[in-house]
Structure formats: C-alpha cells, structure tokens
Amino acid sequence: MPPHTRPTWKTVWITGASTGIGHEIALQLASIGVQVAVSARSVEKQQNLGPNIFPFPLDVTNVAAAQETVQLIEDQLGPIDLAIFAAGTYTEVEATKIDPQLFATIMTTNYLGVVNCLAAVLPKMLARKQGHIAWIASVTGYRGLPKAAAYGPSKAALISLAESLKPELDQHGIPISIINPGFVATPMTAKNVFPMPFLMQPQDAARRTLNGLAKGKFEITYPTRLVAILKFARLLPYGLYFWLIKKLILR
Ligand SMILES: NC(=O)c1ccc[n+]([C@@H]2O[C@H](COP(=O)([O-])OP(=O)(O)OC[C@H]3O[C@@H](n4cnc5c(N)ncnc54)[C@H](OP(=O)(O)O)[C@@H]3O)[C@@H](O)[C@H]2O)c1
C-alpha cells in the first residue's frame, strides 16, 4: 500500500538506501512520484533502481563528502524537503572480547554518520525555514542488551541526539523524527543466528516509517508488541532487569 505523504515532499534524501529499510523507503516514495536521492557507499547497488530514484554515492563517515553530496543533490534535484538517515552497521560483540577498532567503526558510521549528514543538510533547511529530518536508531538504544555492546550505545546516542535537538529546532520550524525499529528482515539481520521475535518485512517497516513521518510524529516505532515490552523493560529496576535478561536472553 502506498504511504500517505505530505504534498510538500517533492525531494527526499535517504542515506543507507542501497539495501534494507532505506531501500524500501526509497522505492515506496518513488512509486508515488517523489524524487528520491539515494546515498550509500556501493555504487553498483544504487544503479537502475527505477524512475524517480537518483544515486548520489556517499560514505557517511566523510564530513566533506556529505557536504558535497547535499550540494550536488540540491543543484540537480532542488531543495531537500525530507532527509532520512538510515545508513548503519551492526556486529555482534562478545562481552569477553572488546575490540576498540570495531567500537570506533560502529560509532563512526551509526552516530557520527548521522551527525555528518545532519551538519550538511540542516543549514540549508534553516535558511529556508523548511524541511524535516529523521534518522533510524533502534529499540536496542532503549537499554543495554547482550551482544549489542558496540551497536546499542551508537543507537542510544542517536536517540539522545534527537531528544537534544528537537526543542530548539522546533522553534526554527524544522521537525526532527527518530525511528526505532525492532527486528526487520534485511541483509543486516540475515546473519543473526538467534530467534528474532516479531520479525517484520522491510516493506511494512518502510510503510510505517512513512506514515509516521507524514503525521509529523517525533518517535516512530514498530513492531508494536516488541516495542511495548522493551519500553516496559526501561522502567524496571536494575536487579529485576538483569535477572530477566539472564533468564530470557542468556539462558
Ligand atoms: N534490520 C533491523 O532489524 C534494524 C532494527 C533496528 C534498526 N535498524 C537500523 O536501520 C538502518 C537500516 O538498516 P537495515 O536493516 O536496512 O540494514 P542494511 O540492509 O544492512 O542497510 C544498511 C545500509 O547502510 C549503508 N551503509 C553502511 N555503512 C555506510 C557508510 N559508511 N556510508 C554510507 N552508507 C552506509 C549500506 O550500504 P553500503 O554498504 O553500500 O554503504 C546499506 O545501504 C540502520 O541504521 C540499522 O541500524 C535496523
């Protein structure tokens, strides 16, 4: 089902759009006539994505390249009305094997990658007093979870970033949205060997994301049942929380 979009979305920029959730968001927007600028590192996966989709290859960890990419998109397609930052990476971490390089890579891609793209597009939106910026964190950012010692903090940082910026940017007319998915079947989760409760398809994730953005929601979450469980878990005292985690996840 096509998403409900605001008529003002003429041009949307999506990072991490070569596969997974970002890719599906791009396809759904393009299908209803929105111009979509897509960015990821792999050039070949961004070719021939169909009408209304325009590749602008980018490594989000490169500050200068992010600035250049935004300028190129606006020169070629016009002002960006909505930016969705979906680029991200995940590697499972054993608590007994801490590799600082891996932690740096994940934080640089997932967190600073968003900061770099935000820094590139925000001044243009502020000057126009128009635009909407969203990024994908994760329910993993709600509270520390086993195996997510590198990924979880990067997503918690993204949630905090959105909460920190929203009040001031609201005053400038630039809404911020944070997207917190549970498990979605994409190349990122295909390598998981553990059971993924309430696993969703990327088409459904993209549709819910776009519906939430069209409604101007601050936080967009799915699937409902997993989100409810994890939001409740946020309220638990440490003793009970760790007891449950050991019982349910580490077993
Ligand atoms: N799938 C889930 O269950 C799930 C749950 C919660 C949150 N999320 C988040 O949702 C977002 C999308 O994930 P996904 O599941 O759709 O994963 P995915 O299919 O692996 O997509 C990740 C995308 O990020 C791009 N990317 C990675 N590093 C990049 C970099 N340095 N510069 C530019 N692009 C980069 C990848 O393209 P290239 O490799 O070509 O650069 C790809 O397009 C991520 O932020 C992820 O953390 C996913």
pTM of the model: 0.97
Rounded CA-CA distance 6/4 in Å is: 7
Burial profile 140-149: b = 16 or more Cβ within 10 angstroms, e = fewer: bbbbebbbbb
Which member of 90, 151, 222, 238 is catalytic? 151
Q: Is the pLDDT of residue 201 over 50?
A: yes
Task: Return the structure tokens found at 192.
Answer: 């998981």
Whether 172 is covered by a domain: the verdict is yes
Rounded CA-CA distance 158/85 in Å is: 11
Show the CA angle centred on residue 205, arms to residues 202 and 207, nearest 5°: 110
| Percent share of the chain, pLDDT over 70 | 97
Whether 5 is covered by a domain: the verdict is no
Q: Is the pLDDT of residue 239 over 50?
A: yes
- Tell me the best of 14, 36, 41, 227 to mutate to test the pocket of ligand 1, counting ligand atoms within 8 Å of each CB and taking the most: 41
Atom of ligand 1 nearest to the CA of 139: 6
Give the CA diameter of the chain: 55
pLDDT digits (tens, 9 = 90+) for 22-77: 999 999 999 999 999 999 999 887 777 889 999 999 999 999 999 999 999 999 99
Pocket lining: 41 vs ligand 1, CB cutoff 6 Å: yes
Helix (H, G, I), strand (E, B) or coil at 233: helix
Question: What confidence category does residue 150 fall into, taking pLDDT thresholds of 50, 70 and 90?
Answer: very high
Q: What is the mean pLDDT of residues 85-103?
A: 97
Cis peptide bond prior to 223, omega within 30° of 0: yes
Q: Is the pLDDT of residue 153 over 90?
A: yes
Question: What confidence category does residue 1 fall into, taking pLDDT thresholds of 50, 70 and 90?
Answer: very low
Whether 6 is covered by a domain: the verdict is no
Average pLDDT, the chain: 95
Pocket lining: 31 vs ligand 1, CB cutoff 6 Å: no
Pocket lining: 105 vs ligand 1, CB cutoff 6 Å: no
Map tokens 């990122």 to a residue: 188
Pocket lining: 145 vs ligand 1, CB cutoff 6 Å: no
Whether 106 is covered by a domain: the verdict is yes
Whether 36 is covered by a domain: the verdict is yes
Map tokens 């070949």 to a residue: 44
142 labelled catalytic: no
pLDDT digits (tens, 9 = 90+) for 17-29: 999 999 999 999 9
Expressed in angstroms and rounded, the spacing between residue 182 Cα and the centre of ligand 1 is 14
Question: What confidence category does residue 81 fall into, taking pLDDT thresholds of 50, 70 and 90?
Answer: very high
Whether 2 is covered by a domain: the verdict is no
Q: Identify the domain containing residue 19 by its residue range.
A: 11-250
Whether 208 is covered by a domain: the verdict is yes
pLDDT digits (tens, 9 = 90+) for 107-141: 999 999 999 999 999 999 999 999 999 999 999 99
Helix (H, G, I), strand (E, B) or coil at 37: strand
Whether 4 is covered by a domain: the verdict is no
CATH for 42: 3.40.50.720
Pairing of strands 11-15, 176-181: unpaired
Pocket lining: 184 vs ligand 1, CB cutoff 6 Å: yes
Q: How many domains does the chain have?
A: 1
pLDDT on residue 66: 98
